[in-house]
A and B are shown apart, each in its own frame.
Chain A
Amino acid sequence: MLELKSITKKFANKVVLNSVNLRLQRSQILFVLGRSGVGKSVLLKTIVGLIPQDRGEVWINGEKTDPLNEEKMVTVRQKCGLVFQMPALLDSLTLQENLEFGLEGNQKSGLRKYLDWVQLSEGVLSRYPSEVSFGTQKKVSVVRTLLREPQFILFDEPTTGLDPVSREVTNQMIRNVVKESETGCVVVSHDIQSAIELANSIMLLDEGRVVFEGTPEAFRNSDQGLIRSFCKGMVVLDA
């Protein structure tokens, strides 16, 4: 289980996360929604210790993490993968080299399957990141994380900037990884439609706090102002 206990993070007197709690079991999908700049990416980065929290604790499978101990964080990051908002591929390596970078021999076996999941052909892997589209880079960065087979995966806006087809592919990929490997997924997204389709629970952040947490139905039926305007966005998207 992945558990955050009152995580608080300030940047230069600006409170970005204010006592945020979160619980996620394996095989569950949690969508985190919120306006841009509310601190969603910061939240994911604190979980894997890229940004140390000011206060609060992160527990993974009953073990408390220590973001200041880089060596211990290595094992935490094996259990809990993060797919960045931007693809963050190493641009001096080909896509193939990016996928294999730092990987152990036995971890390469799933490559075919994962490429299939995101609908990437192997032919493209000999290219460099700068030679392929943003969408392809993003898919490669997803596969890079899948190959390590973590127990939890944090996706930071996996469908933002993708076309509707790739968005559907990405959603299906998340379903697959949950079903096949019992992975627990935290998905940060602006895509209400996908959230309602996929999520077991939805969490809404505003001004550093969790202002809603519950099932997709409860989310849709809520009469909170912010949630209504989020859902209105969805209706417009549908039209």
Chain B
Amino acid sequence: MRALGNWAIREWGQLAYPTGLFWASIVGLLKSLTRASLRGKEITKQIYECAVMSLPVIAFSLGIVSLMSVLEFSWHMKVVLKQDALVPGFSLILTIREVAPVVTAMLLASRVGASISAEMGVMKITEQLDQLKLLAVSEVDYLLIPRWIGCIVANVTLTLISIAIAGIVTVFIAARWMGYQPAEFYNSLLLFTTGHDLEGALLKALCFGTLIPFVSASYGLRCAQGSQGVGDAATQAVARSSLLIIISDLLINSIWWMP
């Protein structure tokens, strides 16, 4: 019991540093907005790196996942209820609420999170971070804020694209194998899905898109010496981001959709 308590306290303590970075970034962002000094070039580059480069793998994964979920649901429903009329609607609401935001964020965490922490880790061990200090440039302004904006933009657009892809795949399967007309399908969809669901998905995208850069940066910026240190930082960044994505997913679900 005590060991469990200690563990919980230690894990909680791990969050202090990324949270500090988060507040520093909010302050930095407000300051640079008032000075109109955001680094446009750097931000564009980060958006490109995060969103465009991750698009193929995320589109592919989401297509496959929604295909599987429709077929799987359909099989179960046929066994139990002898019909699968509601399946496309069920499947899509699951995608919007859960699969699209979480799978997108997980893939982004493993791609972008690892790269953020490794890049910052290398900058730390090659004294580039020290050099930033000497040049009186804050690492939060220069490194973190562009990556944060990049991750948010990437995660929101990729989540929306994922939903769209899942929708198309579902329509296709419904029309091809379940004998739906697209219009009919659309009506069955509206039975279950509301704007509230879509807003929830966006909320998740915002939250996960914030979580990934700050958790990853917190490991990169505190990276230990040597290539081992950089490797550990990247591993930790992905593991922690993924864990926190799942925990915050649970929290958002319980606030957003519970009666």
Size of A's binding interface in residues, CB under 8 A: 18
A167→B121 CA distance, assembly (Å) = 31
**B128 to chain A: which residues have CB within 8 Å?**
88-91
Task: Give Cα A48 to B133, complex, Å.
Answer: 10
Interface residues of B in 177-221 (CB under 8 A from A): none
Rounded to whole angstroms, the CA-CA distance of A101 and B132 in the bound complex is: 9
Is there contact, CB below 8 Å, between A86 and B133? no
* A6 vs chain B, min Cβ distance (A): 24
Determine the chain B residues whose CB is within 8 A of the CB of A102 once the complex forms: 135-137
Q: Which residues of chain B are within 8 angstroms of A48 by Cβ–Cβ distance? A: 134
- Chain A contacts for B135, CB-based, 8 A: 101-102
* Prevailing SS type, chain A contact patch: loop
The reply to whether B131 and A90 contact each other, CB–CB distance below 8 Å, is yes
Q: Which residues of B contact A91 (CB under 8 A)?
A: 128
How long is the Cα–Cα vector from A116 to B167 in the complex, in angstroms? 63
Measured between alpha carbons, how far is A89 from B123 in the docked complex, in Å?
9
The contact of B134 among A81, A86, A89, by CB within 8 Å, is A81
* Alpha-carbon distance between A89 and B122 when the two chains are bound, in angstroms: 12
Check B72 for interface membership: any CB of A closer than 8 A. no
- Chain B residues with Cβ below 8 Å from A78 are 136
Q: Is the CB of A88 within 8 A of B126?
A: yes
Return B17 CB to nearest CB of chain A, in Å.
17
In the complex, chain B residues 122-144 whose Cβ is within 8 Å of any chain A Cβ = 123, 126-128, 130-137
In the assembled complex, which residues on chain A have CB atoms less than 8 Å from the CB atom of B130?
A: 45, 50, 84, 88
CA distance A48 to B126 in the complex (A): 18
5 nearest A-B pairs in the assembled complex, by CB-CB distance: A88-B127, A102-B135, A88-B131, A74-B136, A102-B137
Pairs across A and B, CB under 8 Å, 16 listed: A48-B134, A73-B133, A74-B136, A77-B134, A77-B136, A78-B136, A81-B134, A86-B126, A88-B128, A88-B130, A89-B128, A90-B131, A90-B132, A91-B128, A101-B137, A102-B137
